[in-house]
Structure formats: structure tokens, C-alpha cells
């Protein structure tokens, strides 16, 4: 090795922990899916609740609330300190671009940092289809695919048509994609249908606009079949 070459072990450890967490989440949710199918749950909502609660563990008799609760003598000063810490965290998050390196980091930032629909929409376009396909090459994750589709449907614009098609192509390349599509809720399935209808309408040229290329139209038709849009 060269003398100037260094290995960032802290970054490697962080990446390893994130990958292990994502694998554990995938195994846990997959086991919950199989368990729900074996139990023959009566509805989609019951199935969804079982998977979403897969990380919970029942309490045992030996589990007790330990430790004494302390109360600060200066409540207002403590509140001010907490507020300052929250502001500092919020500012640091705003300064950090949305660049998840693993699916676990995407889950975390999607839930914590991206609170509004427009923010989430811009984040998906910023990452792009190929990156999303790599992040979720194992599995998109239960419940997330529907959220992504609804976000795209609510905020898609004609100028972003090609970028949105590439995002859809990247998501469709992930493993277990047909299974995740079959588990969409009625609202999410309707959002998917509305998205493709908007994309099709945006492909109709108007006065002063160029018609979309045959490649672009062909990709739309291909994705239309992959996403099982009626």
C-alpha cells in the first residue's frame, strides 16, 4: 500500500452496521409475511399490521421499569437547552444532502428528514432510477413501494416525465417487485394507476411541443405492464 493511502475504519464500520440492520429488517419482515400467510389473515390491513409490528417483542414477567425518574429544578432552562439542540440537529440535517448509501439509510432519512411530499418527490428525482435500483436491489421493503408511487403521482410534472419513468424502471428492477406490487393497498394501487394516466397524458404533444421519442413511449408501455396497471 502507498504511504498516503488510509482506510476510514469508522466509515466502514458504519456502512457494515447499516447493511446488517437492513438485512435483519428484511429477514424479520419476510418471516412476518410468511407467518401472516400461514395464519390466513382475513384482510390486507391485518397482513400489513403483522409485518409492521414484526420488530416488537412481547414483555416477560421479569421485565420491570427500573431506575428513578429525575425532574430538573430549572424546567425552562432545560427546555431552552432541548430547543437549541433540536435546532442544531435540524440545521445540520438541512446542510447534509440526501445521499443514502444503503437502503437502511434511505428508510431513516425518508421517515425523519423528508416530511413533505415535494421534498420526497425531489429526493427521488435527485437519486434517480439507477441509484434507487441499486439501493433496493434486495427488496424495496414492505409498505415503502406504495409510498413512493403515491409521492410520484401527487407531484409529477411534464418536465420530469423522463426522470419519473427512469425512477419507475429502477424500482421495477428490484427483487420481489411483483410481490410488493400485489401487496399494495387500494389507495396505493389507485395512486399507481393515476400516475401512469398522467404520464400517458403528458406524452400527448400540444402546440409548440415535440412529441416524445419512440424509446420513451416504448418504456412507458413496458412499465405499464410491469406495474400491472389496468
pTM: 0.59
Q: Which residues contact 129 (CB under 8 A, 6 or more apart)?
A: 163, 165, 166, 167, 168, 169, 170, 171
**218 or 77, which is more confident:** 218
What is the average per-residue pLDDT within 124-140? 91
Using CA atoms, how far apart are residues 40 and 25, in angstroms rounded to an integer?
23
Q: Which residues contact 142 (CB under 8 A, 6 or more apart)?
A: 29, 33, 48, 51, 52, 180, 183
When mean pLDDT is compared over 13-17, 26-30, 196-200, the highest value belongs to: 196-200
| pLDDT score, position 96 | 66
**82 or 114, which is more confident:** 114
Task: Give, in order, the Cα–Cα distances in Å from 84 to each of 72, 81, 90.
Answer: 17, 5, 10
| pLDDT score, position 23 | 72
pLDDT tops 90 at residue 18 = no
Q: What is the pLDDT of residues 88-109, one digit of tens each?
A: 444 444 456 788 888 888 988 8
**Which band of pLDDT confidence, cut at 50, 70 and 90, is reported for residue 45?**
low
| Contact indicator for 149, 192 with CB cutoff of 8 Å | yes
pLDDT tops 50 at residue 117 = yes
Q: What is the pLDDT of residues 136-154, one digit of tens each?
A: 988 887 789 999 999 999 9
Q: What string of DSSP letters covers 38-73?
A: HHT-SSHHHHHHHHHTTT-----TT----S-----S
- Report the 10 Å Cβ neighbour count for 140: 26
Amino acid at each position: 500500500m502507498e504511504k498516503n493511502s488510509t482506510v476510514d475504519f469508522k466509515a466502514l464500520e458504519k456502512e457494515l452496521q447499516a447493511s446488517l440492520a437492513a438485512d435483519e429488517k428484511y429477514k424479520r419482515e419476510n418471516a412476518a409475511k410468511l407467518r401472516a400467510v400461514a395464519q390466513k389473515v382475513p384482510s390486507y390491513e391485518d397482513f400489513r399490521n403483522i409485518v409492521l409490528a414484526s420488530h416488537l417483542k412481547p414483555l416477560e414477567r421479569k421485565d420491570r421499569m427500573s431506575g428513578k425518574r429525575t425532574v430538573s429544578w430549572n424546567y425552562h432552562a432545560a427546555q431552552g437547552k432541548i430547543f437549541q439542540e433540536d435546532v442544531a440537529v435540524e440545521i445540520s440535517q438541512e446542510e447534509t444532502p440526501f445521499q443514502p448509501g444503503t437502503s437502511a439509510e434511505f428508510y431513516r432519512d425518508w421517515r425523519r428528514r423528508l416530511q413533505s411530499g415535494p421534498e420526497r418527490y425531489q429526493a427521488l428525482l435527485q437519486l434517480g432510477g439507477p441509484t434507487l435500483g441499486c439501493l433496493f436491489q434486495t427488496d424495496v421493503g414492505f409498505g415503502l413501494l406504495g409510498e413512493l408511487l403515491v409521492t410520484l403521482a401527487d407531484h409529477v410534472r411534464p418536465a420530469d416525465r423522463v426522470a419519473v419513468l427512469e425512477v419507475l424502471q429502477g424500482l421495477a428492477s428490484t427483487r420481489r417487485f411483483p410481490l410488493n406490487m400485489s401487496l399494495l393497498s387500494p389507495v396505493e394501487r389507485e395512486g399507481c394507476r393515476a400516475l401512469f394516466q398522467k404520464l400517458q397524458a403528458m406524452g400527448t404533444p400540444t402546440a409548440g411541443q415535440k412529441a416524445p421519442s419512440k424509446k420513451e413511449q416504448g418504456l412507458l408501455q413496458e412499465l405499464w405492464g410491469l406495474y400491472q396497471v389496468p
